[in-house]
Amino acid sequence: MRFLLLFALLLAGCAARAVPLEPLAAAPEGYALAGRMALKVRAPGLSGTVQASLVLCRPDRLFLQVRSPLGPVLAQGTIDARRAALVVPPEARAFVADAPEAALRTLTGGALGVDGLLALLTARLPADLRRVGEPSALAFEAPGGRRVLAHVDRRGRLAGVDLLGPDEATLATLRYAGRRRAGRLPLPRRIAARIPGLGLAAEADLHSWEILGEVPAIFTTAIPPGFEVRPIDALPGG
């Protein structure tokens, strides 16, 4: 289930000209965005399509729920400023972290914090990346000798991001296709993720995006009595 936290990692495609980064990194804050999607997952021993919903509020709040086609909750994860929790009812297990920012940095090799994750879910660049190289190359430094390559389409929209290791091996990719609007805000219609090291491929088809009139109080998850509780870095694949 580690892909639930890694799913929002990175993409690809190259711009042949200098691109201003401010519109790609900036996104309005202070309201919540809700999305509904069909999520197709392929991994060793796992293949299928589930329904998922998410609510996010930058810079540090996320709700994600995954349901089977018949309705039961397969997993629910939340992040707020103080805690991250992932509950997996079919396995009677929960994974928690009391320092979400540090936990996500650990899971992503230091490349993404919480706001970086939320930015990529909305097809924007994390604001804390430091650009390096020639102006026409959207390359960014990440900790541990890693690099982030961002790719922009002809309209100046983020089309993909790759996370590369110190040996230039591809650690993770994200691809965006199409756009849906929530008010005047363009958001991705499809997000495809690939993590070669885990043999994982996932594709989210967004049925809808919506700007919520107020931020709901759903960004914490209670651990049911009797569930085994483990740290988030003990997730399978960690």
* Position 49 pLDDT exceeds 50: yes
pLDDT score, position 137: 46
d(C-alpha 126, C-alpha 132), whole Å = 15
* Position 142 pLDDT exceeds 70: yes
Residues 94, 84 contacting (CB under 8 angstroms): no
Indicate the pLDDT class of residue 35, thresholds 50, 70 and 90. very high
Task: Report the SS3 class of residue 57.
Answer: strand
Instruction: Please list the residues that pair with 206 across neighbouring strands.
Output: 37
Tell me which of 142 and 124 has the higher pLDDT: 124
Spell out the domains of the chain, with CATH numbers in brackets: 3-234 (2.50.20.10)
Cis peptide upstream of residue 59 (ω within 30 degrees of 0): yes
**Mean pLDDT, range 45-65, rounded to an integer:** 91
Q: Give the angle 24-5-234 at the CA atoms, nearest 5°.
A: 150
What lies within 8 Å, CB to CB, of 5 at 6+ separation is 77, 84, 86, 104, 107, 117, 232, 235
> Residue 94 — left, alpha, or beta (φ > 0 → left; ψ -120 to 50 → alpha)?
beta
d(C-alpha 51, C-alpha 73), whole Å = 10
Helix H or strand E encompassing 102: helix 100-107
pLDDT in tens, 1-16: 444 434 433 332 223 3
pLDDT in tens, 157-214: 888 888 888 888 888 999 999 999 888 888 999 999 998 887 889 999 999 999 998 8
d(C-alpha 88, C-alpha 214), whole Å = 28
d(C-alpha 59, C-alpha 179), whole Å = 22
**Mean pLDDT, range 133-139, rounded to an integer:** 53
Indicate the pLDDT class of residue 131, thresholds 50, 70 and 90. low
